[in-house]
C-alpha cells in the first residue's frame, strides 16, 4: 500500500486538505472566540462606567451609605411671604433605586437567569450600597480582597466569572460581572459545527482527491497494461503519446523507443536463428547426402576417399560457422571475459600482414603497409582476429595483380587503421548492410570461398567492445576501404 503511487498521492492530498481545513477552521474559530469575549468585556466596562456616572449624581452622604442631612427652611421674602416649598427630600433608598444596570447595554445571556449580569457597589469602607443578581456561591469577601483601580480593570474569577472593577466617586468600589457559561456553551456549539462541517468537507475532498489521484496514475496504468500485452511474438504495440499528459510524454517516448529496440532485437534474434539454422543445415545435408550415397552400394576406395573429403570440407565449413557464432555470442555477452591491456596496435597489424603474405601471393595480390607505432588499451586476440579478417577479405575479393594498402596512424587522440583494396568493390545498395550477420553481397561467391557472412559482424562487435567505430566506403569496380578508429591509451 505504501509503495503505491496512487495511495501516496491520496495521502498527500488528504493530508493537505486536512491541514487547510484545520488551519482555516482554527483561525475562524479563534476570531469568533475573540470577538465574542471582547464584546463581553466591552459591555462590562460600559456597565461599570454607567454605574460610576450614576453614583456621581448622588449626594456625597449617599455615596458614603448614609442619609443626606435636612436643608433649613428658606427665609421669608421681603414682602413677608413664604417662598414656595422645596422639593421633597429623596431618601437614600430612593437614590439607590436608580442604581441599576441599563437594559440597553444588551449583554449576551441577559435573558437567561443564570447568565444575568450582576453588579455590586461598596462604599470606601467596604459598606454595601447595593448588589443585584450575584451568582450562587459568589464570595463577596474574596472579591473585595482583590485590588481596585481608578480605571475599569478586567479580571477572571473562578467558576468562569468575568468582572470589571473600578474605584468610583468618593472612593466607592464598583463591580460589574457576568458568568461566561452562555458564551462557553455557544463557542462549544460553534466548535461542534465547525468540526462537522470540516469532516463533511474532508470526506468530500478525500473522494475528490482519490478521483484526481486515479486520473493522474491512469496513464501509468495504461503504460503498464501496454507493457503487459507485449510478448516475444507481438512487440508492435506502442503507447499513444497524444493521449498522455505532457509530463509523462517523455517517459512514454522512452518506453516506445525501448519497445522498438526490443522489437528490433527479437527480430534480429529470429532472423539470426533462422540464418544460423540454414547455414548449419547446408553442410549437414552435404555430409548426410554423401554418406548415404556412399553406403547405398559398394564403392571403390577412390570413391570412398572422395566422400570423406567432401564430408571433411563440409565439417570444416560447419566448424568455421560454429566458431563464428561462438565469437559473436561472447561479444554479445556483457559478462564474458574480455581482458584488456596495453598493446601496440602496429605490432598486431604487422604480424597479420606477415602471416597473410602467402595467401596474398597465391592470389597474386600485393600487401603494402605503412604502420606507425600507436599504443591502445585492448584485447590482442580479438583485435588480431579482426585485422586478419579484414585483410583476408581484401585479398579474396581483389583482382589479380591488385593491391591491399594497410595504414596505421594516430589522429585526434584516436588510432586510425585503414585497409584499402583495389578489388571488385561493393555496390551502394549493399553497403549499409554488410555488417549484418549472415549478410552476403555475392552469396554464391561467399559459399565457394567458405565464407559464412559473419566476418564483418564479428569485426564490428570487436570494435564496439573497444569503444571504437568502423566505417566502410566502396566504389563498385574500384575497391573498398575499411576505416577503424580506436581510442588511444593515455598514460
Mind giving me the DSSP string for 331-366? HH-TTS----EEEEHHHHHHHHHHHHHHHHHHTT-E
Cα distances (angstroms) measured from residue 254 to each of 221, 242, 329: 16, 15, 27
Q: What is the pLDDT, as a whole number, of residue 231?
A: 59
Q: String of b and e for 8-40 (b: at least 16 CB within 10 Å)?
A: ebbeebbeebeeebeeebeeebeeebeebbeeb
Place of cell 594516430: 410
Let me know: does 434 contact 442? Beta carbons within 8 Å.
Answer: no
Averaged pLDDT for residues 431-460: 66
> pLDDT tier at 446 (50, 70, 90 boundaries)?
very low
3-class DSSP assignment, residue 253? helix
Let me know: does 166 contact 149? Beta carbons within 8 Å.
Answer: yes
Q: What is the pLDDT, as a whole number, of residue 48?
A: 92
Q: What is the pLDDT of residues 401-440, one digit of tens each?
A: 999 999 999 888 899 999 999 988 888 888 887 877 666 6
3-class DSSP assignment, residue 139? coil
- Crossing angle for the helix pair 246-295 and 181-229, nearest 10 degrees? 30
Q: What is the pLDDT of residues 366-386, one digit of tens each?
A: 999 999 999 888 888 888 888
- Please tell me the distance from the alpha carbon of residue 462 to that of residue 469, in angstroms, as a whole number: 10
Averaged pLDDT for residues 293-305: 78
Going across the sheet that includes 153-157, the strands are: 128-132, 118-122, 173-179, 161-167, 153-157
**Per-residue cell: 168:** 468610583
Q: What is the pLDDT, as a whole number, of residue 87?
A: 55
Of the candidates 444, 434, 408, 430, the one whose C-alpha atom is nearest the C-alpha of residue 476 is 430
Q: How many CB atoms lie within 10 A of CB 120?
A: 23
Q: What is the pLDDT, as a whole number, of residue 421?
A: 92
Mean pLDDT of the chain: 80
- Exposure on the CB side of residue 126, measured as CA atoms within 13 A: 9
At 158, give phi and psi (nearest 5°). Answer: -65, 165
Least confident of 12-26, 159-173, 212-226, 393-407: 212-226
Which uninterrupted H or E stretch holds 179?
strand 173-179
Work out the end-to-end distance of the chain between its first and last CA atoms, rounded to an integer number of angstroms. 54
Let me know: does 41 contact 163? Beta carbons within 8 Å.
Answer: no
> Where do the domains of the chain lie, and which CATH numbers do they carry?
1-65+90-229 (no CATH), 247-332 (1.10.287.130), 341-487 (3.30.565.10)
Which comes out higher in pLDDT, residue 395 or 320? 395
Which uninterrupted H or E stretch holds 188?
helix 181-229
Which comes out higher in pLDDT, residue 247 or 100? 100
Amino acid at each position: 500500500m505504501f509503495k503505491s503511487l496512487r495511495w501516496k498521492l491520496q495521502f498527500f492530498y488528504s493530508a493537505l486538505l486536512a491541514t487547510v481545513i484545520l488551519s482555516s477552521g482554527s483561525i475562524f474559530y479563534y476570531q469568533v472566540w475573540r470577538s465574542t469575549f471582547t464584546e463581553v468585556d466591552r459591555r462590562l466596562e460600559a456597565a461599570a462606567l454607567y454605574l460610576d456616572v450614576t453614583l456621581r449624581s448622588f449626594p456625597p452622604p449617599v455615596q458614603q451609605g448614609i442619609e443626606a442631612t435636612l436643608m433649613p427652611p428658606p427665609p421669608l421674602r421681603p414682602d413677608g411671604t413664604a417662598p414656595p416649598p422645596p422639593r421633597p427630600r429623596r431618601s437614600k433608598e430612593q437614590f439607590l433605586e436608580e442604581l441599576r444596570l441599563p437594559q440597553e447595554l444588551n449583554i449576551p445571556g441577559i435573558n437567561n437567569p443564570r447568565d444575568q449580569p450582576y453588579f455590586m457597589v461598596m462604599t470606601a469602607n467596604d459598606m454595601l450600597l447595593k448588589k443585584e443578581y450575584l451568582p450562587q456561591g459568589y464570595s463577596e469577601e474574596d472579591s473585595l480582597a482583590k485590588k481596585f483601580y481608578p480605571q475599569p480593570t478586567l479580571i477572571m474569577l473562578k467558576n468562569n466569572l468575568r468582572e470589571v472593577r473600578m474605584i468610583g466617586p468618593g472612593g466607592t468600589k464598583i463591580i460589574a460581572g457576568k458568568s461566561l457559561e452562555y458564551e462557553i456553551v455557544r463557542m462549544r456549539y460553534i466548535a461542534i459545527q465547525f468540526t462537522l462541517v470540516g469532516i463533511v468537507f474532508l470526506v468530500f475532498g478525500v473522494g475528490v482527491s482519490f478521483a484526481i489521484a486515479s486520473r493522474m496514475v491512469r496513464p501509468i496504468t495504461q503504460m503498464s497494461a501496454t507493457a503487459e500485452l507485449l510478448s516475444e511474438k507481438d512487440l508492435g504495440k506502442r503507447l499513444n503519446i497524444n493521449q498522455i499528459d505532457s509530463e509523462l510524454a517523455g517517459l512514454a517516448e522512452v518506453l516506445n523507443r525501448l519497445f522498438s529496440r526490443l522489437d528490433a532485437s527479437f527480430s534480429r534474434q529470429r532472423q539470426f536463428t533462422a540464418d544460423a539454422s540454414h547455414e548449419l543445415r547446408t553442410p549437414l545435408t552435404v555430409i548426410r547426402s554423401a554418406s548415404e550415397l556412399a553406403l547405398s552400394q559398394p564403392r571403390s576406395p577412390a570413391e570412398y576417399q572422395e566422400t570423406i573429403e567432401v564430408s571433411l570440407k563440409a565439417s570444416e565449413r560447419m566448424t568455421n560457422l560454429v566458431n563464428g557464432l561462438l565469437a559473436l555470442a561472447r561479444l554479445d555477452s556483457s559478462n564474458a571475459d574480455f581482458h584488456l591491456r596495453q598493446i601496440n596496435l602496429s605490432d598486431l597489424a604487422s604480424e597479420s600482414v606477415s602471416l597473410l603474405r602467402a595467401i596474398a601471393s597465391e592470389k597474386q595480390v600485393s600487401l603494402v603497409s605503412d604502420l606507425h607505432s600507436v599504443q591502445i588499451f585492448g584485447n590482442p586476440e580479438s583485435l588480431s582476429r579482426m585485422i586478419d579478417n579484414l585483410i583476408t577479405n581484401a585479398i579474396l575479393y581483389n583482382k589479380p595483380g591488385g593491391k591491399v594498402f594497410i595504414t596505421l596512424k594516430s589522429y585526434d587522440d584516436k588510432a586510425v587503421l585503414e585497409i584499402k583494396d583495389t578489388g571488385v568493390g561493393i555496390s551502394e545498395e549493399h553497403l549499409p548492410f554488410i555488417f549484418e550477420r549472415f549478410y552476403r553481397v555475392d552469396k554464391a561467391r561467399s559459399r565457394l570461398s567458405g565464407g559464412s557472412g559473419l566476418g564483418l559482424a564479428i569485426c564490428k562487435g570487436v570494435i564496439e567492445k573497444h569503444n571504437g567505430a568502423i566505417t566502410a566506403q566502396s566504389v563498385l569496380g574500384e575497391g573498398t576501404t575499411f576505416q577503424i578508429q580506436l581510442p588511444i591509451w593515455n598514460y
